[in-house]
Amino acid sequence: MQQIIQDIESRFTITDKETRRNDLCFLTVDKLQAISLVTYLRDYQGYASLTLLTAVDWIEEGNFQLTYLLNNPSTRTEIGVRTMIDRENATMESTHHLWENIQTYQRELKEMFGIDFPGSPRIDEDFILEGWDNIPPYRRDFDTKKYSEETYFPRPGRETNDPSTYMKSKLYPND
C-alpha cells in the first residue's frame, strides 16, 4: 500500500494522510482534485469497488467533509478519499458515471445534509423523507428535540429519567 500512496502523492496534492491499518488509509485532497483521484484509483490502481460515500458536518468550520471509501478486491485494501466542501454552497460533482450505486448515496446526502450533486440521476426526487419541508435533519443545526416536541404529542407513560438514578433504583430498590 505504501507504494500506491507514494504514487498518488507524486500525482496529487495530498493535504492530509491518515493510515489506520496496513490495509486502510485516508487521503485528504482539495475539492477540485477529489473526482480525479477517485477516478485514478479506480482506473489505474484497481480500486474498482465503491464501498461508501458519506458526509460529516463540521459546522464550526463551515464545511462538510465528504469521504469516498474505495476497495481494491485483489489486494484487499481500502483507501478513503476525503474532501471538504463549503457548507453554505454544498455542491459536489457527481460520480455516477464511475459507479452506478453512488446515485443512492448522493440522493441520501442531498436529502439528509442538503449536499447537491448536479446531474446525478433522480437527485431531486424524495428518497426517504417524502414531503419533508424542514432543514435537512443530519445537519448539526437541526434541532431534533425541538422538532420532536413540535411534531409529536406527549403520551401517558412516557417519562424521562436520569439514567444513573433510574438504574440505581432498579438495581438496588431497597437503598
- Let me know if residue 161 belongs to a domain: no
Residue 151 sits at φ, ψ, to 5 deg, of -100, -40
- Let me know if residue 7 belongs to a domain: yes
Q: How many domains does the chain have?
A: 1
With bands split at pLDDT 50, 70 and 90, how would you rate the model's confidence at 4? very high
SS (H, E, C) the chain: CHHHHHHHHHHCCEEEEEEEECCEEEEEECHHHHHHHHHHHHHHCCCCEEEEEEEEEECCCCEEEEEEEEEECCCCEEEEEEEEEECCCCECCCCCCCCCCHHHHHHHHHHHHCCECCCCCCCCCCCCCCCCCCCCCCCCCCCHHHHHHHHCCCCCCCCCCCHHHHHHHHHCCCC
Q: Residue 56 is part of a domain; what is its CATH number?
A: 3.30.460.80
CA distance 27 to 19: 9
Could you read off the pLDDT of 89-128 as tens digits, one per residue?
999 999 999 999 999 999 999 999 999 999 999 999 999 9
- Let me know if residue 167 belongs to a domain: no
Q: How far is CA 117 from the centre of its chain?
A: 14
Average pLDDT over residues 52-74: 97
With bands split at pLDDT 50, 70 and 90, how would you rate the model's confidence at 165? confident
- Let me know if residue 170 belongs to a domain: no
- Let me know if residue 110 belongs to a domain: yes
- Let me know if residue 68 belongs to a domain: yes
Could you read off the pLDDT of 136-155 as tens digits, one per residue?
999 999 999 899 889 888 77
163 has a pLDDT exceeding 90: no
- Let me know if residue 162 belongs to a domain: no
Q: Cα Rg for the chain, rounded, in angstroms?
A: 21
- Let me know if residue 60 belongs to a domain: yes
Host domain of residue 52: 2-156
Residue 174: predicted pLDDT: 87
pTM for this prediction? 0.86
Q: String of b and e for 70-88 (b: at least 16 CB within 10 Å)?
A: bbbeeeebbbbbbbbbebe
Could you read off the pLDDT of 25-38 as tens digits, one per residue?
999 999 999 999 99
With bands split at pLDDT 50, 70 and 90, how would you rate the model's confidence at 62? very high
Pairwise pLDDT comparison (145 vs 79), residue with the higher score: 79
